[in-house]
Structure 1
Amino acid sequence: MMMLVNCSKCHTPLQLPPGAKSIRCAICRAVTLIADPRTAPPTPPSAYNNHYYPPPAPAPAPSTYNHHSSSSGQNSSSRKRAVIVGISYKNTRNELKGCINDAKCMKFLLTNRFNFPQDSILMLTEEERDPYRIPTKHNIRMAMYWLVQGCQAGDSLVFHYSGHGSQQRNYTGDEVDGFDETLCPLDFETQGMIVDDEINATLVRPLPRGAKLHAIIDACHSGTMLDLPFLCRMDRSVALRSFSALC
């Protein structure tokens, strides 16, 4: 069973392998030391679980999460933050062309057109030298946690994914077609896929009122990848006319 601990610096939830005495955060690179269980205070039973979702975070300071917009409609300390994932599955039977280029183009767009600071964008591609920026299942999960960590009214968040998407049988009855949509990390054949229920719980539910999340999923079965309650279907002819009007 994996144990979840919070990073000592950025408080991102981390999965601690059994028996490990320390763990390095994939986001801020800080090393968190784990106290000897014989000397540490007793842990509530709900602190650890083997479920996909992280346990409830401790109550934040009053200013950390603001579920009410200010009188002006914008928060003066609003921030921009983005996670960009591009996976080519190079040298495998699943190889794709252009996904890493998509990720680079999205970063260029965010920094040059929408003024996102360079250090507010987390890139996960196979070209990254940092092993914590390789788009494995664990690293993508940690990046999603980081994206919404401490977000507040007025913040602008972006999640971009370019890679394989798939489906798997749903057994809870919450999918009309009987299938959950999934993202396929680089190591999905050994570690499994990231299910839309988890994506919704990680990226959508924690959003406070007034914060904005733009998710661009360039993958198969992406229409309901965030498990949102509403789905917009646009007539193709209307879409083409709208596109022509923009050109």
Structure 2
Amino acid sequence: MTDRARYWGLLTGINYYRYHGPEISNLRFAVNDAQELRQLLTSSPYSFLPNQVSLLESSDPQHDQAVRRNVLRELHRLARSAREKDTLLFYYSGHGAVLQNRPCLCPSDTESDELFEDTIIPLAHVRDIIETSAAAVKS
């Protein structure tokens, strides 16, 4: 096992929302932004290894990875994987919302009806997961 610092990343890009409507519309460039960032991070001079950068995309009904469950599961996995000298990066490109003065992320399976509160991801929850990580740098 090496003492060298490692770089972990979870990049999320959401163009397609299952329950899009007036409150949550589909986007055009979020997936591309996440893909471009992954390409940048895994090239020189950056030190992210491709197998340590997860990319969750939702571009259409057949490619809908960025659901709430997957985002949280992968964030937990990366937080557990990172060690003391490591860096942990979370990047999100998609819709957000504010619920009771709390900023939230809207994964691709966010519902805009009475289930809205149950299907979003409060940003504080993301921060709590990241804080469980031993990583030295968390962003």
In the TM superposition, residue 90 of structure 1 has moved relative to its aligned partner by 5.4
What per-residue deviation string (whole Å, max 9, x for no partner) do you get for residues 170-192 of structure 1?
xxxxxxxxx11100000110551
Q: Is residue 124 of structure 2 the alignment partner of residue 202 of structure 1?
A: no
**Secondary structure in structure 2 of the residue aligned to 1:188:** coil
**Secondary structure in structure 2 of the residue aligned to 1:143:** helix
Runs of 4 or more, structure 1, over 6 Å off, are 128-131
After the TM superposition, which residues 140-155 of structure 1 pair with which residues of structure 2 at under 5 Å, given as runs? 140-155=71-86
Match of 1:85 in 2: 12
Q: Is residue 57 of structure 2 the alignment partner of residue 125 of structure 1?
A: yes
Residues 8 and 82 in structure 2, CA contact (< 8 A), matched pair in contact too: no
Percentage identity across aligned positions? 23
Mark the CA change 1:148 to 1:100 in structure 2 (over 3 Å): closer, same or farther: same
Larger Rg: 1
After the TM superposition, which residues 1-247 of structure 1 pair with which residues of structure 2 at under 5 Å, given as runs? 76-89=3-16, 92-93=20-21, 94-113=25-44, 114-127=46-59, 134-169=65-100, 179-189=101-111, 190=115, 191-204=118-131, 206-208=132-134, 211-214=136-139
Q: Give the length in aligned residue pairs.
A: 129
**Secondary structure in structure 2 of the residue aligned to 1:141:** helix
Letter in 1 for 2:50: Q
Equivalents in 1 of 2:65, 2:85: separation in Å? 30
Q: Could you tell me the TM-score, scaled by structure 2's length?
A: 0.80
Equivalents in 1 of 2:77, 2:48: separation in Å? 16
Q: Could you tell me the TM-score, scaled by structure 1's length?
A: 0.47
What per-residue deviation string (whole Å, max 9, x for no partner) do you get for residues 139-164 of structure 1?
00001101211422210111110000
In the TM superposition, residue 117 of structure 1 has moved relative to its aligned partner by 1.1
Mark the CA change 1:123 to 1:137 in structure 2 (over 3 Å): closer, same or farther: same
In the TM superposition, residue 127 of structure 1 has moved relative to its aligned partner by 4.6
Equivalents in 2 of 1:90, 1:137: separation in Å? 12
In the TM superposition, residue 130 of structure 1 has moved relative to its aligned partner by 9.2
Mark the CA change 1:201 to 1:138 in structure 2 (over 3 Å): closer, same or farther: same
**Uncovered stretches (5+) of structure 2, i.e. residues with no partner:** none
Letter in 1 for 2:109: D
Which structure shows the bigger proportion of residues in helix conformation? Answer: 2
Match of 1:64 in 2: none
Question: Greater relative contact order (Cα 8 A, min sep 6): structure 1 or 2?
Answer: 2
Which structure shows the bigger proportion of residues in strand conformation? Answer: 2
Residues 128 and 134 in structure 1, CA contact (< 8 A), matched pair in contact too: no
Computed over aligned residues only, the root mean square deviation of the Cα atoms, in angstroms, reads 2.6
In the TM superposition, residue 213 of structure 1 has moved relative to its aligned partner by 1.6
